[in-house]
Chain A
Amino acid sequence: MDILVFNCGSSSLKYKLISMPSQTVVAGGEAQRIGPPTAEPSRILHQWRGKQDVVEVPMRDHQSAFDEVMKILETAQCRPDGVGHRMVHGGERFHCSVLIDRQVFEDLEAVADLAPLHNPPAMALIQACLKRYPGLPQVAVFDTAFHATIPEYARTYALPRDLAAETRIRKYGFHGTSHQYVAEQAAQFLNIPMQKLNAVSCHLGSGGASLCAIQGGQSIDNTMGFSPLQGLIMSTRCGDLDPAIPLQMLARTNGDHARVEAVLNKKSGVLGMSGASADIRDILAACSHQEDRHRFRKYNVTVQSYLWRIRKYLGAYLAIVESPAAVIFTDTIGETVPYVRWSVCTDLDVFGIQIDARKNWSVEQYPADVATEGSPVRVLVIQTNEELAIAQFTHQVLVHEN
């Protein structure tokens, strides 16, 4: 059974056609730098039969990225038996993967506005797939599902209880598919059962990013909250912010919440702070050769604040996870930017973390352990494979349905 997996990130669209249950990748690729212009052009990296093609093409949104990806797949005569979609937000309705029917689609629409950067483009993809492949089964796999185990004291905001119940405001947590996947890989690497794994997983993407505290193989906290806006400083999202600020912005815009939301979701974070690029790699590079003092200061504050927020959350989660075995770094930034791992982990002996500079700067294959030999807590670099995880969930649902 060939499963076509779509993973709609806030600035990327990853896709893979995976043959199940053998887990053989037939074709795949990634549309990168979708959305606001960055220092490098938008492009699709497509892999098929051991070759990689790079197609540079403007992609202003996920719909246009989808059209370009489908053109490439059709040329390669790739035809899936089922489609798995990464859905960022399942609200309180979805705690596991589901086959998409009319009722599910309506329920998905009801929670779409909880993740305005992700759910609407994924919904558009589902509709586009329905048009292109009518009758093809589609499965929704939720980022929130892994976090269903977050205890009440960690998922509750200090709001009036009746208001929270009425509005269903609580922490949901996100990036669950990735956190679960890398946690399973870490358990395997460390040779301990998943249900005994205590760790902190750092999913640092080029768009969104979050940390997850894992106790006994289950999520016990995630830096994202009611929506994917909370937590770390991300490419265009502000992360944690004093509630008085959106309130003040609402007052200044005469209650125009859509406008405020657009600013906090799409014009803040690394892009807003630096004023130059939404990609932290661009800002890191610019810092090293910036001669304009004003710009250097701005870029430097952006980088230091980005790293600091990760470090503080890492400390917070290492305080709540009992006897952590590992800190896991994953996704684009977590896997490929050693400076980030170094800055976040250095001088954290207090938590039992000793990162090895040489190993950290010379990661050649994954999974990699970049901690010193004597470090009580291992520092692992693990490639996430959300697409494979989604294909596995999709396959399970389709087999069960059949």
Chain B
Amino acid sequence: MNILVLRLGLNSLHYAYFRHYERQPVKHPARRIDRSRWHAGNKYVDILREMRPEESRLAPLDAITIEAKYGGVMFTGPVRADLAVLEKLKKLTPCAPLHVPELVELVQACQEVFPGVPVVLDFETAFFVSLPDREHSLGVDADIIRDPNFRKFGFYGIYHEAAREYAWECWPDIRETSRVLSLCLEPRPEIAAILGNKPVMVTSGVTPLEGLPGHTTCGDLDPFIVLSLARMKKWGPEQINDVLTQKSGLLGLAGRPVTIQELFESNEEEWIPVQDLMKYRILLACGSGIAAMSGLDAIVFSGRYASAGKKLGPWLASRLSLRGSRKNNVYWDWYDEPIDQLLADRAVQVVMTSPLAVTK
């Protein structure tokens, strides 16, 4: 089965072809098209038409799968994008105004350029629709937030689900209690506590800005800081947003760009304070996750910097080998399957087994 995987970034479109039975990208490594190369007008149609000859040299496509960053509470799993799904998706525009319209445009472009090829939408938030009320609720006026989509989500559900499955495969003896901490090491890292097969805690918030600090994002902040910046610096919301999302996190702390992997694999002295801060935040979040699950069986690192788990894993497992843990011993490992592969695998499942949308 031949699958085209598409992932939309804020300024790029990433794509990869998979021949599913080989479980490897076909011929070409994953590619990225930057916004600077986008055409005006039907940008995605033009881009996909450019890709078309490449695709025809391989074999006819059996499915296209698109990573959708946000699906609100409506989408609880991957779906085949039909008219009804697109209509539901459009209703989520106020919750993710930068992402949803682009996503809809991309789906429509796929349908135009590759007519008859099923398009699958795979939502990163779907795994977190089942978060308990007490975890996803916010401490603000309930009447202000009548929209059910205004709540906490996680934003790397596909990695977290895969990490939980990996834990079950690796350590079958944990299945009974199944208390897994999933540390997704992406540019905006995220930790989820998964009890059984459902998440019970996640570090992200209404947006991925809350939680652990990222490459350029601030993570958890006293909400009063946002207001103080407006007052002290006389900054407007856009300026504050720019600082919190583009100039903070590891960049703001280290003073230069650094990835999570570089940070934890480095022995440079100047980065020790940043390492200490990140490790501390990770430890705090893991403690919360353990309290949420009333225990811990395994830790799994995933994401593009999963291998940083080699350094973090032994340290974290020793710090979290608590009294009630499995024989005072916590399993840990890292899982480095790329997101493109995960998306392709999941698309095959959807196309073969679930012809209809899974929506609330």
Binding site for B on A (CB under 8 A): 113, 152-154, 156-161, 163, 167, 169, 171, 224-227, 229-230, 233-234, 237-248, 250-251, 255, 257, 260-261, 263-264, 267-269, 272-275, 298, 301, 304-305, 307-309, 311-320, 347-352, 376
B180 to chain A, nearest CB (A): 14
Q: Which residues of the partner chain A approach B132 to less than 8 Å between Cβ atoms?
A: 304
Task: Indicate whether B102 reaches chain A with its CB closer than 8 angstroms.
Answer: no
CA distance A349 to B177 in the complex (A): 14
B94 to chain A, nearest CB (A): 11
Which of A305, A347, A376 has the most chain B CB atoms closer than 10 A to its own CB? A305
Task: Indicate whether B133 reaches chain A with its CB closer than 8 angstroms.
Answer: yes
Given A272-B139, A350-B295, decide whether A304 and B134 contact each other with a Cβ distance below 8 A: yes
Once the chains bind, are B142 and A272 in contact (CB under 8 Å)? yes
CA distance A243 to B219 in the complex (A): 8
Query: Which of B133, B231, B253, B325 is A161 in contact with, Cβ under 8 Å?
Result: B253
Query: Which of A158, A245, A247, A318 is B240 in contact with, Cβ under 8 Å?
Result: A247
Once the chains bind, are A268 and B140 in contact (CB under 8 Å)? yes
Query: Which of B141, B209, B287, B324 is A316 in contact with, Cβ under 8 Å?
Result: B287
Once the chains bind, are A159 and B241 in contact (CB under 8 Å)? no
Task: Indicate whether B86 reaches chain A with its CB closer than 8 angstroms.
Answer: no
Task: Indicate whether B187 reaches chain A with its CB closer than 8 angstroms.
Answer: no
Given A226-B222, A244-B209, A304-B134, decide whether A239 and B139 contact each other with a Cβ distance below 8 A: yes
**Chain-A contact segment, one of B50-58, B104-112, B199-207:** B199-207
Q: Which residues of the partner chain A approach B237 to less than 8 Å between Cβ atoms?
A: 247-248, 250-251, 255
- In chain B, positions 244-258 with a C-beta closer than 8 Å to chain A are 244, 247-253, 255
Q: Which residues of the partner chain A approach B143 to less than 8 Å between Cβ atoms?
A: 275
Task: Indicate whether B319 reaches chain A with its CB closer than 8 angstroms.
Answer: yes
**Chain-A contact segment, one of B72-80, B119-127, B158-166, B275-283:** B275-283
Q: Which residues of the partner chain B approach A313 to less than 8 Å between Cβ atoms?
A: 288
Task: Indicate whether B115 reaches chain A with its CB closer than 8 angstroms.
Answer: no
Q: Which residues of the partner chain B approach A237 to less than 8 Å between Cβ atoms?
A: 139
Once the chains bind, are B139 and A269 in contact (CB under 8 Å)? yes
Q: Which residues of the partner chain A approach B243 to less than 8 Å between Cβ atoms?
A: 159-160, 163
What would 13 A/B residue contacts be, using CB atoms closer than 8 Å?
A238-B223, A240-B220, A241-B138, A242-B207, A243-B210, A250-B227, A250-B230, A250-B236, A255-B236, A268-B141, A273-B141, A351-B290, A351-B322
Given A225-B222, A246-B227, decide whether A305 and B137 contact each other with a Cβ distance below 8 A: yes
CA distance A246 to B138 in the complex (A): 12
Once the chains bind, are B287 and A167 in contact (CB under 8 Å)? no
Task: Indicate whether B225 reaches chain A with its CB closer than 8 angstroms.
Answer: yes
* Additional 8 contacts, C-beta under 8 A, given A227-B224, A250-B240: A156-B253, A157-B221, A244-B207, A251-B237, A273-B142, A274-B142, A301-B133, A301-B134
Once the chains bind, are B294 and A350 in contact (CB under 8 Å)? yes
Residues of B within 8 Å of A, CB-based: how many?
Answer: 75
Q: Which residues of the partner chain B approach A233 to less than 8 Å between Cβ atoms?
A: 139
Which of A250, A260, A267, A311 has the most chain B CB atoms closer than 10 A to its own CB? A250
Once the chains bind, are B253 and A311 in contact (CB under 8 Å)? no
Once the chains bind, are A350 and B139 in contact (CB under 8 Å)? no
Once the chains bind, are B209 and A169 in contact (CB under 8 Å)? no
Q: Which residues of the partner chain B approach A351 to less than 8 Å between Cβ atoms?
A: 290-291, 322-324
Task: Indicate whether B135 reaches chain A with its CB closer than 8 angstroms.
Answer: yes
Binding site for A on B (CB under 8 A): 132-135, 137-144, 152, 201, 205-207, 209-210, 213, 217-233, 236-237, 240-241, 243-244, 247-253, 255, 273, 276-277, 279-280, 283-292, 294-296, 319-320, 322-325
A319 to chain B, nearest CB (A): 3
Is the contact region of chain A dominated by helix, strand, or loop, or is it mixed?
helix
CA distance A312 to B295 in the complex (A): 12
Q: Which residues of the partner chain A approach B244 to less than 8 Å between Cβ atoms?
A: 159, 243, 247
Once the chains bind, are B141 and A272 in contact (CB under 8 Å)? yes
A302 to chain B, nearest CB (A): 8
Which of B143, B236, B286, B324 has the most chain A CB atoms closer than 10 A to its own CB? B324
Query: Which of B144, B248, B273, B280 is A320 in contact with, Cβ under 8 Å?
Result: B280
Query: Which of A159, A244, A267, A376 is B141 in contact with, Cβ under 8 Å?
Result: A267
Measured CB to CB, the nearest residue on chain A to B279 is A153
Measured CB to CB, the nearest residue on chain A to B207 is A244
Once the chains bind, are B286 and A319 in contact (CB under 8 Å)? yes
Once the chains bind, are A316 and B285 in contact (CB under 8 Å)? yes
A72 to chain B, nearest CB (A): 35
CA distance A320 to B280 in the complex (A): 8
Once the chains bind, are A154 and B280 in contact (CB under 8 Å)? yes
CA distance A236 to B75 in the complex (A): 33
Which of A275, A304, A308 has the most chain B CB atoms closer than 10 A to its own CB? A308
Once the chains bind, are B253 and A268 in contact (CB under 8 Å)? no
Q: Which residues of the partner chain A approach B241 to less than 8 Å between Cβ atoms?
A: 247
Once the chains bind, are A264 and B294 in contact (CB under 8 Å)? no
Measured CB to CB, the nearest residue on chain B to A224 is B222
Given A160-B248, A315-B292, decide whether A305 and B218 contact each other with a Cβ distance below 8 A: no
